[in-house]
Amino acid sequence: HTNSPTYLYFGIMKTEESSKKAGDGEEKPKTVKNTALDLQRMKLEKLMKNPEKPVVIPDRQKEKKTPHVPDFVRNVMGSSAGAGSGEFHVYRHLRRKEYARQKAIGEKGEKAAQDEAFQLKLLENQKQAEERTAKKRAKRLKKKKNLKKKKIENAKAGVKLTDPPSDDSSLEDSDREESVKDCDGSESNPVRSNPTDSEDNS
Protein backbone atom coordinates (compact mmCIF):
# COMPACT_ATOMS: atom_id res chain seq x y z
CA HIS A 1 0.00 0.00 0.00
CA THR A 2 2.86 2.38 0.58
CA ASN A 3 3.90 2.24 -3.10
CA SER A 4 0.46 3.40 -4.25
CA PRO A 5 0.09 7.11 -5.09
CA THR A 6 -2.54 7.54 -2.43
CA TYR A 7 -3.18 5.85 0.86
CA LEU A 8 -5.56 6.26 3.75
CA TYR A 9 -4.24 7.36 7.09
CA PHE A 10 -6.83 7.77 9.85
CA GLY A 11 -9.54 8.57 7.32
CA ILE A 12 -7.55 11.39 5.62
CA MET A 13 -6.55 11.05 1.98
CA LYS A 14 -2.93 12.01 1.39
CA THR A 15 -0.71 11.96 -1.67
CA GLU A 16 2.98 11.31 -1.94
CA GLU A 17 3.57 14.87 -3.13
CA SER A 18 1.88 16.37 -0.11
CA SER A 19 3.86 14.04 2.17
CA LYS A 20 7.08 15.05 0.45
CA LYS A 21 6.26 18.75 0.87
CA ALA A 22 5.49 18.19 4.50
CA GLY A 23 8.74 16.27 4.89
CA ASP A 24 10.78 18.98 3.19
CA GLY A 25 9.66 21.47 5.81
CA GLU A 26 7.76 23.81 3.49
CA GLU A 27 5.04 25.70 5.32
CA LYS A 28 1.49 25.63 4.07
CA PRO A 29 -0.23 28.94 3.34
CA LYS A 30 -1.81 30.21 6.52
CA THR A 31 -5.46 31.09 6.50
CA VAL A 32 -6.06 34.62 7.71
CA LYS A 33 -9.36 35.62 9.21
CA ASN A 34 -11.26 38.23 7.21
CA THR A 35 -11.40 41.65 8.80
CA ALA A 36 -14.37 44.00 8.77
CA LEU A 37 -12.87 45.77 5.75
CA ASP A 38 -12.60 42.49 3.83
CA LEU A 39 -16.18 41.56 4.66
CA GLN A 40 -17.40 44.97 3.53
CA ARG A 41 -15.43 44.64 0.30
CA MET A 42 -16.92 41.20 -0.34
CA LYS A 43 -20.44 42.53 0.22
CA LEU A 44 -19.86 45.44 -2.15
CA GLU A 45 -18.42 43.17 -4.82
CA LYS A 46 -21.42 40.89 -4.47
CA LEU A 47 -23.77 43.85 -4.89
CA MET A 48 -21.90 45.23 -7.90
CA LYS A 49 -22.02 41.89 -9.72
CA ASN A 50 -25.71 42.46 -10.39
CA PRO A 51 -26.52 46.19 -10.09
CA GLU A 52 -30.08 45.70 -11.39
CA LYS A 53 -31.00 43.47 -8.47
CA PRO A 54 -33.18 45.38 -5.99
CA VAL A 55 -31.69 45.86 -2.55
CA VAL A 56 -33.96 44.82 0.27
CA ILE A 57 -33.58 47.11 3.28
CA PRO A 58 -35.06 45.53 6.40
CA ASP A 59 -37.55 47.53 8.39
CA ARG A 60 -36.79 48.79 11.84
CA GLN A 61 -37.39 46.25 14.53
CA LYS A 62 -40.63 46.93 16.34
CA GLU A 63 -40.69 47.30 20.08
CA LYS A 64 -41.91 44.32 21.99
CA LYS A 65 -45.19 44.81 23.76
CA THR A 66 -45.14 43.92 27.41
CA PRO A 67 -47.92 41.66 28.61
CA HIS A 68 -50.81 43.47 30.19
CA VAL A 69 -50.80 43.24 33.96
CA PRO A 70 -54.30 43.08 35.45
CA ASP A 71 -55.13 45.67 38.04
CA PHE A 72 -56.95 43.14 40.18
CA VAL A 73 -55.95 39.50 40.56
CA ARG A 74 -58.95 37.35 41.41
CA ASN A 75 -57.44 33.87 41.60
CA VAL A 76 -55.30 34.46 44.67
CA MET A 77 -54.52 31.39 46.70
CA GLY A 78 -54.13 31.59 50.42
CA SER A 79 -51.18 30.22 52.36
CA SER A 80 -53.31 27.38 53.75
CA ALA A 81 -54.54 26.22 50.35
CA GLY A 82 -53.21 22.93 49.10
CA ALA A 83 -51.12 23.21 45.94
CA GLY A 84 -51.58 20.60 43.28
CA SER A 85 -48.97 19.21 40.95
CA GLY A 86 -49.89 21.67 38.19
CA GLU A 87 -49.71 24.81 40.33
CA PHE A 88 -45.92 24.84 40.30
CA HIS A 89 -45.87 25.09 36.51
CA VAL A 90 -48.42 27.91 36.67
CA TYR A 91 -46.18 29.69 39.15
CA ARG A 92 -43.14 29.24 36.90
CA HIS A 93 -45.06 30.64 33.94
CA LEU A 94 -46.23 33.68 35.90
CA ARG A 95 -42.74 34.22 37.26
CA ARG A 96 -41.25 34.06 33.77
CA LYS A 97 -43.83 36.52 32.51
CA GLU A 98 -43.14 38.92 35.37
CA TYR A 99 -39.39 38.73 34.81
CA ALA A 100 -39.90 39.50 31.13
CA ARG A 101 -42.13 42.45 32.02
CA GLN A 102 -39.59 43.85 34.49
CA LYS A 103 -36.82 43.45 31.93
CA ALA A 104 -38.88 45.25 29.27
CA ILE A 105 -39.63 48.08 31.69
CA GLY A 106 -35.92 48.43 32.52
CA GLU A 107 -34.92 48.46 28.84
CA LYS A 108 -37.60 51.03 28.07
CA GLY A 109 -36.41 53.29 30.89
CA GLU A 110 -32.79 52.95 29.81
CA LYS A 111 -33.70 53.78 26.22
CA ALA A 112 -35.67 56.84 27.35
CA ALA A 113 -32.69 58.02 29.42
CA GLN A 114 -30.34 57.55 26.46
CA ASP A 115 -32.70 59.45 24.15
CA GLU A 116 -32.94 62.30 26.64
CA ALA A 117 -29.15 62.47 27.01
CA PHE A 118 -28.80 62.41 23.22
CA GLN A 119 -31.26 65.29 22.80
CA LEU A 120 -29.46 67.32 25.48
CA LYS A 121 -26.16 66.66 23.74
CA LEU A 122 -27.64 67.82 20.43
CA LEU A 123 -28.95 71.03 22.01
CA GLU A 124 -25.59 71.69 23.65
CA ASN A 125 -23.71 71.15 20.39
CA GLN A 126 -26.15 73.40 18.54
CA LYS A 127 -25.75 76.12 21.17
CA GLN A 128 -21.96 75.93 20.98
CA ALA A 129 -22.09 76.08 17.18
CA GLU A 130 -24.34 79.16 17.30
CA GLU A 131 -22.02 80.86 19.80
CA ARG A 132 -19.00 80.19 17.59
CA THR A 133 -20.87 81.46 14.55
CA ALA A 134 -21.98 84.63 16.36
CA LYS A 135 -18.45 85.27 17.60
CA LYS A 136 -16.98 84.87 14.12
CA ARG A 137 -19.73 87.05 12.65
CA ALA A 138 -19.05 89.84 15.18
CA LYS A 139 -15.32 89.61 14.49
CA ARG A 140 -15.92 89.73 10.75
CA LEU A 141 -18.26 92.75 11.02
CA LYS A 142 -15.80 94.57 13.29
CA LYS A 143 -12.98 93.97 10.82
CA LYS A 144 -15.16 95.18 7.96
CA LYS A 145 -16.14 98.30 9.91
CA ASN A 146 -12.52 99.10 10.75
CA LEU A 147 -11.50 98.70 7.12
CA LYS A 148 -14.30 101.00 6.03
CA LYS A 149 -13.36 103.59 8.66
CA LYS A 150 -9.70 103.43 7.68
CA LYS A 151 -10.62 103.84 4.04
CA ILE A 152 -12.68 106.96 4.83
CA GLU A 153 -9.84 108.44 6.92
CA ASN A 154 -7.33 107.81 4.14
CA ALA A 155 -9.66 109.43 1.65
CA LYS A 156 -10.05 112.53 3.87
CA ALA A 157 -6.30 112.78 4.43
CA GLY A 158 -5.70 112.62 0.70
CA VAL A 159 -8.19 115.44 0.08
CA LYS A 160 -6.50 117.65 2.69
CA LEU A 161 -3.09 117.16 1.16
CA THR A 162 -4.21 117.88 -2.37
CA ASP A 163 -6.32 120.97 -1.51
CA PRO A 164 -4.62 124.29 -2.55
CA PRO A 165 -4.03 126.90 0.20
CA SER A 166 -6.83 129.42 0.58
CA ASP A 167 -6.44 133.22 -0.02
CA ASP A 168 -6.73 134.08 3.67
CA SER A 169 -3.84 131.83 4.59
CA SER A 170 -1.65 133.33 1.83
CA LEU A 171 -2.40 136.86 3.10
CA GLU A 172 -1.53 135.91 6.65
CA ASP A 173 1.78 134.41 5.50
CA SER A 174 2.69 137.58 3.56
CA ASP A 175 1.89 139.86 6.55
CA ARG A 176 4.04 137.69 8.80
CA GLU A 177 6.98 137.92 6.38
CA GLU A 178 6.69 141.72 6.14
CA SER A 179 6.69 142.15 9.92
CA VAL A 180 9.86 140.10 10.20
CA LYS A 181 11.80 142.30 7.75
CA ASP A 182 14.01 145.11 9.10
CA CYS A 183 13.84 148.76 8.08
CA ASP A 184 16.79 148.41 5.68
CA GLY A 185 14.91 145.68 3.79
CA SER A 186 16.99 142.69 5.02
CA GLU A 187 15.30 139.82 6.79
CA SER A 188 16.07 139.72 10.49
CA ASN A 189 17.33 136.42 11.76
CA PRO A 190 16.03 135.59 15.18
CA VAL A 191 18.86 135.52 17.73
CA ARG A 192 18.62 132.74 20.21
CA SER A 193 20.06 133.22 23.65
CA ASN A 194 22.92 130.90 24.41
CA PRO A 195 23.06 129.75 28.00
CA THR A 196 26.87 129.59 27.89
CA ASP A 197 27.12 133.30 27.01
CA SER A 198 24.99 134.27 29.96
CA GLU A 199 27.18 132.20 32.26
CA ASP A 200 30.37 133.86 30.90
CA ASN A 201 28.92 137.34 31.38
CA SER A 202 28.03 136.53 34.93
- pLDDT tens for residues 33-63? 889 999 999 989 988 898 888 878 888 888 7
Residues 125-151 pLDDT 10s: 999 999 999 999 999 999 999 999 998
| 22 in Cβ contact with 14 (< 8 Å) | no
Residues 146-198 pLDDT 10s: 999 998 888 888 755 455 455 455 555 655 565 555 445 544 444 455 545 54
The whole model's pTM is what? Answer: 0.37
Query: How many residues appear in the chain?
Result: 202
Q: How far is CA 200 from CA 121, 146, 190, 197, in A?
A: 88, 59, 21, 5
Domain residues of the chain, as ranges? 92-156
Residues 59-118 pLDDT 10s: 888 877 766 666 666 666 665 556 666 777 777 888 888 888 888 888 889 999 999 999
**CB half-sphere exposure, 27, CA atoms < 13 A:** 3
